[in-house]
Amino acid sequence: MNKTVRHLADGREIIYFDEHELAQPREAVDTRDLPAVSAASEIRCDPLTGEWVAMAAHRQTRTYKPPADLCPLCPTRPGKPSEVPEADYDVVVFENRFPSFAKNVSGEATTVDGAGLVQLAPGRGRCEVVCFTSDHERSFGELSAERVRTVVDVWADRTAALSELDGVEQVFPFENRGEEIGVTLHHPHGQIYAYPFVTPRTERMLATAAAYRAEHGRHVMGDVLANEHKAGTRVVAEGRFWTAFVPPAARWPVQVQVVPHRQVADLTELDAAERDDFARVYLQVLRRCDGLYDRPLPYVAGWYQSPRHRDRELSWLHLELFSVLRSRDKLKYLAGSESGMAVWVNDSTPEQIAERLRAAG
C-alpha cells in the first residue's frame, strides 16, 4: 500500500492510500478559496454521571444532503472541485472541515461559571473522514475483499497516528450508513474520532472486564466467544480468526459483534492473516444484513479499541454493528425506557435475529 500526504486549500491534511503503484504521483492541488477551519469545541463533565459531553456549535453549518453531482467526497471533476483534489482514488482520509474535536482548539481547563462543580475543557482531538472508494454508488458491503483489507490497514495506520497526538485518550473508527441513522452524505465513507477522554461505554466495559477477571481469572469476552462457539445459535458468520455473532443480550433489532479469536487491544496488533480473514467475515455479515429486508440496511458499525494510556490488558478489540430498522419499513424508536433510563426492550430475541441473518445469506 502506498501512502501520500498532501494538504487542502485551508491547510487540512489529506492522505491517499493506494493499493498499487501509481503511474503519476498524487500532486493535484486544491484550488478552492477556503477560509481557515475554526472549531470552538469544548467538553463538559456531567456532575451527576461523571460522563463527558462534547459541545460543537460550529457544526450547525456543515454540509447537509447535497445533490449527487455536488458530493464533496467524490473526486474532483472539471468545474466541480471537492474535498478530494485528485480525479480518482482508492481510499482517502482527510481532516473533517466541521470537526467535533480539533487539535487547535484554544482555552484551558476550568469549570462552568467558575463554580467548581462542572468541569469544562477544550475539545482537543481530531476528527477524520475516511472514503472507502471513489465510486459514489457503491456501499462497504459491495467492496472487494482486497479493498476491505486496505481499509483495515488504513484504520490501523490512523489508530497508530492519532494515538500519538497530545491529549488523545481513545481512537474510534466507525461508519454511519443510511438516512434513518442520520447520514447526510451518501458517498460510502466513515469517520475516525480521536477523543480527549475515554468514552463512557468503554469505561463501563473495562470495569466489567476487571471485575470478571478478578473473580474468574479470565477475560469476559473470551468466555463469551467460547460460549457462542459452543451454542452456535447466535453465530452469523465464522472464519479462521474471527467470529460474528448476535450478542446474547442484544439491544437492537439487528446487532452483530465481529470478534477476533485472539485477544488484541486495538487494530494495530492484528497480523496480516487476521486482517485478511476479517475482510472475508465482515463482507459476509454486511451482505446478510442487506439481504435481511431485501433493501440496504441502515447501520452504525464501530470499533471498540483500548484506551491509549491504560487498560490494554483488559481490552479485547471487536467491531459492533447495529441497526434501528426492525422490519423493512419500521424503525425502532428509543422511547421512555431506553432514552430515559437506558433500559432496553428488544422486540426480537438474539436467537431470532441470528436465524434471520443466516437465512438472509
Q: Which of 136, 187, 189, 216 is catalytic?
A: 189
- Sole residue written with cell 464501530: 302
Bridge partners, residue 300, by sequence:
176, 322
Number of H helices, E strands in the chain: 6, 17
3-state secondary structure of 59: helix
Q: How many CA atoms does the CB half-sphere of 344 hold within 13 Å?
A: 11
* Amino acid in the structure at residue 247: P
Q: Cα(74)–Cα(96) distance, rounded to whole angstroms?
A: 15
Q: Cα(171)–Cα(155) distance, rounded to whole angstroms?
A: 10
Q: Cα(101)–Cα(120) distance, rounded to whole angstroms?
A: 14
DSSP states along 94-132? EE-SS-SS-TT-----EEGGGSSSSEEEE--SEEEEEE-
Report CA 316 to chain centroid distance, whole Å.
Answer: 16
The backbone region for 216, taken as left when phi is positive above 0, alpha when psi lies in -120 to 50, beta otherwise, is alpha
Where b means 16+ CB within 10 Å and e means fewer, 227-250 reads ebeeeebbbbbbbebbbbbbbeeb
Closest CA to 38 of 14, 57, 24: 57
Does residue 189 carry a catalytic annotation?
yes
Which residue numbers are catalytic?
A: 189
